[in-house]
């Protein structure tokens, strides 16, 4: 009840009037039945923009920190994510996150939509980072199709650290559903999970047209913050290379294209 009231009374009028987000590829979203929406993650605003433009309810996986914040702001954020049925994810390790995976599978078993950001955290510089294999495990164990999604403009609207979003054009682009039934029963094979995840990230990359970095986002952020001060680069965007723009590269980060389906098979 909270989800639909908050969406229809607050989010839809406010965000549609202010940002006028545009949707492309809405025909790829199923009218009923389970599906996983896997998107890039550029901004806290992603949690609001996508649900506003999708008629069906989307249950999102969200980091545990959103549910454990302190103070008035922390409690409000926690109340919001609980109210919309968000699933907390403990990112301290794979075993800790398994409970969230099992809960997410329950969402799919009910025939609902599940939203997930395979990168695991927001991009600190607007680029697309290596996906974690949890999305592949959910897809193979549930048999649900994966719909790639690209959020475009939300990084410029509200990058990490910015409290209030700027009014910039927002586009939400959905791609054709990805079917991984050919891998049924192989969810315990690490190589298969990696191949499926790479295929999903490649589909997101084609939609978003971001630069791809073959490193996990958390590792890239840590590397950018560890640059010595005398280099003139910092983890907070001292030269726009590590935070504000898409042309600079954090140290020790290799930018490549994730494998397409054909390249994965060839390997």
Q: What pLDDT shows up at residue 164?
A: 76
Q: What pLDDT shows up at residue 48?
A: 78
User: Which of the given ranges, 99-108, 114-123, 172-181, has the highest pLDDT on average?
Assistant: 172-181
DSSP letter for each residue of 201-266: HHHHHHHH-PPEESS-HHHHHHHHHTS-GGGT--TT-TTSTTTT-SS---TT----PPPPHHHHHH
Q: Where are the beta strands (DSSP E) in the chain?
A: 22-24, 35-39, 58-63, 87-89, 113-116, 128-129, 146-152, 171-174, 212-213
Res. 92: pLDDT tops 80: no
Q: How many CB atoms lie under 10 A from the CB of residue 138?
A: 24
Q: Which structure tokens are listed for 94?
A: 């794979």
53-67 residue pLDDT tens: 888 888 887 777 777
**What percent of the chain has a predicted confidence (pLDDT) above 90?**
45
Mean pLDDT, rounded, of the chain = 80
Residue 169 near residue 18 (C-beta atoms within 8 A): no
Segment 223-231 mean pLDDT: 68
Res. 245: pLDDT tops 70: no
Taking the C-alpha atoms of residue 118 and residue 84, their distance in angstroms, rounded to an integer, is 20
Fold category of 2-210 in CATH: Glycerol-3-phosphate (1)-acyltransferase (3.40.1130)
Segment 83-109 mean pLDDT: 77
Taking the C-alpha atoms of residue 201 and residue 257, their distance in angstroms, rounded to an integer, is 9
At 255, is the pLDDT very low, low, confident or very high (cuts 50, 70, 90)? very low
Residue 160 near residue 198 (C-beta atoms within 8 A): no
Res. 248: pLDDT tops 70: no
Residues in the chain: 267
């Amino acid at each position: 009840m909270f989800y639909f009231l908050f969406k229809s009374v607050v989010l839809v009028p406010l965000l549609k009037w202010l940002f006028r987000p545009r949707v492309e590829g809405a025909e790829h979203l199923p009218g009923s039945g389970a599906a996983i929406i896997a998107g890039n993650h550029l901004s806290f605003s992603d949690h609001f923009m996508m649900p506003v433009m999708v008629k069906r309810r989307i249950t999102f996986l969200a980091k545990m920190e959103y549910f454990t914040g302190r103070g008035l702001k922390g409690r409000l954020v926690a109340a919001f994510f609980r109210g919309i049925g968000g699933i907390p994810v403990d990112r301290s390790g794979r075993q800790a996150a398994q409970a969230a995976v099992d809960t997410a599978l329950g969402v799919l078993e009910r025939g609902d939509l599940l939203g997930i950001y395979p990168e695991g955290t927001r991009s600190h510089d607007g680029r697309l980072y290596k996906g974690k294999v949890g999305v592949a495990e959910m897809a193979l164990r549930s048999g649900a199709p994966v719909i790639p999604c690209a959020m475009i403009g939300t990084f410029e609207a509200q990058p990490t650290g910015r409290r209030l979003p700027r009014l910039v054009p927002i586009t939400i682009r959905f791609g054709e559903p990805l079917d991984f039934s050919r891998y049924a029963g192989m969810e315990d094979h690490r190589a298969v999970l990696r191949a499926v995840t790479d295929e999903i990230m490649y589909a997101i990359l084609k939609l978003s047209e971001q630069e791809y970095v073959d490193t996990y986002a958390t590792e890239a952020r840590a590397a950018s913050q560890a640059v010595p001060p005398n280099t003139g680069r910092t983890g907070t965007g001292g030269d726009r290379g590590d935070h504000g723009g898409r042309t600079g590269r954090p140290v020790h980060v290799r930018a490549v294209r994730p494998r397409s389906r054909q390249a994965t098979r060839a390997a």
